[in-house]
Amino acid sequence: MDDLSGRKVVVIGGSAGIGYASAEMALDAGAEVAIAARGEERLKAAAERLSAKAGRDVPWQVIDMRERANVAAYLAAAAPFDHLLLPGANVYRTTFADLDEELARASFDAKMWAPFFAAYDARPHLRKGGSIIFYSGLANRRPVPGYVVGAIIDGGLDAATRSLAYELAPEELRVNCISPGIIETAYVERISPEVKDELFGAYAKKVPVGRVGQAEDCAKAAMYLMTTGFVTGAVLRVDGGIESAP
């Protein structure tokens, strides 16, 4: 049984998608949970839903993970905690031909450096036996149209996971990464319905399990990584088996 009673889980990017589903599952498993994200309205509504479900208060804080000093202060205020989940990031989509340098660099700041420094700043506040979870993605392993920048970032996060698992072992902290395939989350609101249908349809046809993922699939992966003390440095693919597709 996944049991997180007596544990505290902090989710930066917890107002929607994978982060929200993970916060909800951690609450169901008995954890104390705190969530943060940028948009106040959606965050507050998410915290209210979670609080109502759990029958106890789920604290929320407006945070942009790219703003390091604010993140560090937030983590210090939330301390001590056991697990830090860092799904709060987006990258900009582009082909190489249409590359915009400023947007490409901004994507690195948002999806690679922000969680990397959040992990660094969280170290003194994590209880021994705790863990950090990064979120990379499929693009690093298989080309995904429009995700050339994301692919490089995903590769960096996967590599950081292995190095940090080694570097933080003396502090009795584990570091893991979830590498999602196509998961139906709030990010689909940013793509047109036609592109969505084409992308999702093609993916479902291709992968062995015959469907795109749901946020709960990634939340279950996070539960496994949080509760399995023998796992560190792992990049857990949650993608319906895309690498087994011909």
Ligand X SMILES: NC(=O)c1ccc[n+]([C@@H]2O[C@H](COP(=O)([O-])OP(=O)(O)OC[C@H]3O[C@@H](n4cnc5c(N)ncnc54)[C@H](OP(=O)(O)O)[C@@H]3O)[C@@H](O)[C@H]2O)c1
Chain residues binding ligand X by CB under 6 A are 12-19, 37-39, 42, 63-66, 87-90, 110-111, 135, 137-138, 180, 182-183, 185-187
SS3 breakdown of the chain: % helix, strand, coil, rounded to 5? 50, 20, 30
| Minimum CB–partner distance for residue 181 and ligand X (Å) | 7
Cβ closest to ligand X, residue 5 vs residue 186: 186
Q: What is the dihedral of CA 217, 109, 233, 28, to 10 degrees?
A: -40
| Minimum CB–partner distance for residue 1 and ligand X (Å) | 26
Amino acid at 91: V
Cβ closest to ligand X, residue 171 vs residue 190: 190
Residue 32, token pair as written in the block: 């104390």
190-199 long-range contacts, CB within 8 A, separation 24+? 190/90
Cβ closest to ligand X, residue 132 vs residue 183: 183
Minimal CB distance to ligand X: which residue?
17
Cβ neighbours around 242 below 10 Å, total: 18
Cα–Cα distance measured from residue 56 to residue 65, given in angstroms and rounded to the nearest whole number:
26
| Minimum CB–partner distance for residue 209 and ligand X (Å) | 15
Cβ closest to ligand X, residue 28 vs residue 64: 64
Cα–Cα distance measured from residue 140 to residue 156, given in angstroms and rounded to the nearest whole number:
9
| Minimum CB–partner distance for residue 204 and ligand X (Å) | 13
Cα–Cα distance measured from residue 237 to residue 246, given in angstroms and rounded to the nearest whole number:
17
| Minimum CB–partner distance for residue 63 and ligand X (Å) | 6
Cβ closest to ligand X, residue 42 vs residue 220: 42
